[in-house]
Amino acid sequence: MSILVMKFGGTSVANVDRIARAAKRVAVEVAKGHDVILIVSAMAGETNKLVGWVQDTSPLYDAREYDAVTSSGENVTAGLMALRLQEMDIPARSWQGWQVPLLTTSAHGSARIEAIPTENILRKFGEGMRVAVVAGFQGISPEGRITTLGRGGSDTTAVAFAAAFDAVRCDIYTDVDGVYTTDPRICGKARKLDRIAFEEMLELASLGAKVLQTRSVELAMRYKVKLRVLSSFEEQTDEAGTLVCDEEDIMESNAVAGVAYSRDEAKVTLTGVADRPGIAASIFGPLAEAGVNVDMIVQNISEHGQTDMTFSCPTDQVLRAQKALDEAKDRGVFSYGDLVIDRDVAKVSVVGIGMRSHAGVAAQMFKALAAENVNIKVITTSEIKISVLIDRKYMELAVQALHDAFGLEKAAA
């Protein structure tokens, strides 16, 4: 018995007609002999509506009840999908998170998956069930309460099931036909990739690419789950979409696989910070406690025992960061001169496992940006990534220039 995991996002199950279309794709895989675990999201817009109702009812809501409400959208989709499959004479049954059970931590709204026992679903497969339609995004806490995994959590649900059941593959159906070298809405030359390494996809997802949730890619990489991203609206073939896989499964790759961007960035600079051991911990400790996601960090050269510290964070976390830094200063944890905030910046990054064996990627990137008179404010690098912070008004220009500079419209030779 081979198990295939399929996941359909909100746009793919937005109404009963699209649910019927998705069911036909499931039927094709069942006809091939697979038992299918089908993970479904709430219908498009449904979760936003439920979140709005919670916030309107109780601005300072109980997170446990938030999960109880917002998880209900997936339950509706799962039930409708099971009914549709039954109408097609395919033995199917819907499963909510607690019925599997998908065991999570107690962190309501952002729970982590701890285990997925396989006995219940495997027993039903043994009794003749061909499709287990599982409500994504949800699980059950040790206290027996419904939990949710955070927005986009159905991707994580799907990969976790694929790992737990040793599935042959995990297919993520969405409204795009794969992973592109960059956003096609910004660069008309963007090319769909046939394959991309886990590490590259993880970097692209964390840097702003919206195709897959970062946690789902982390899980796939950890458990070696073959992950395919494809459109629920395109022709169904074995070659469709993009396969996210091990680096060893890719014969040849360009130095750069893709260009990612994030426009919702802010640059925060602390001036006149004492240059002494432990100062970084004094600054970033309070930020971590306040839940600020710090990304790029640069410390300037010390002069007269003082230095400047610059970091980037999401724009919607700037006020939280400012409050945490001011409170730490008031408590005497550390001191600084001025707090300078620039909200009009964007992060642009090039990503590729080929950087490990290709010299000169950074020079080529900086030369391309200089040719367009794009000034770089902050630079950070890793083994397979180079990110720069620039003025937001130049973001699209920078993405297009870098895509051209690295010839990403062409496949690797």
Q: Is 185 annotated as a binding residue?
A: yes
d(CA 260, CA 204): 6
Strands 242-245 and 227-231: antiparallel
Strands 195-197 and 242-245: parallel
Locus of tokens 């640069």:
298
Q: Is 7 annotated as a binding residue?
A: yes
Q: Which token pair is 351? A: 């990503």
Non-local CB neighbours of 215 within 8 Å, separated by 6+ positions: 149, 150, 153, 155, 156
Q: Is 380 annotated as a binding residue?
A: no
Q: Is 175 annotated as a binding residue?
A: yes
Torsion angle, CA of 285/291/294/299, rounded to 10 degrees?
-20
Q: Is 49 annotated as a binding residue?
A: no
Q: Which token pair is 149? A: 């995994």
Q: Which token pair is 5? A: 């995991």
Q: How far is CA 35 from the centre of its chain?
A: 27
d(CA 275, CA 280): 9
Q: Is 211 annotated as a binding residue?
A: yes
Ramachandran angles phi, psi of 241, nearest 5°: 75, -165
Q: Is 210 annotated as a binding residue?
A: yes
Q: For the residues of 159-189, what is the DSSP string, one character each?
A: HHHHHHTT-SEEEEEESSSS-BSS-TTT-TT
Q: At what angle do helices 46-57 and 63-70 cross, to 10 degrees?
A: 150
Q: Is 8 annotated as a binding residue?
A: yes
d(CA 322, CA 56): 27
d(CA 376, CA 366): 8
- Amino acid, res. 268: V
**C-alpha separations of 368 from 115, 164, 374 in Å:** 47, 45, 9
Query: Of the candidates 115, 85, 112, which has an alpha carbon nearest to the alpha carbon of residue 100?
Result: 115
d(CA 321, CA 292): 6
Q: Is 125 annotated as a binding residue?
A: no
Count CB neighbours of 393 within 10 A.
11
Please state the residue numbers annotated as binding site for ATP: 7-10, 174-175, 180, 185, 210-211
Please state the residue numbers annotated as binding site: 7-10, 47, 74, 174-175, 180, 185, 210-211
Please state the residue numbers annotated as binding site for substrate: 47, 74
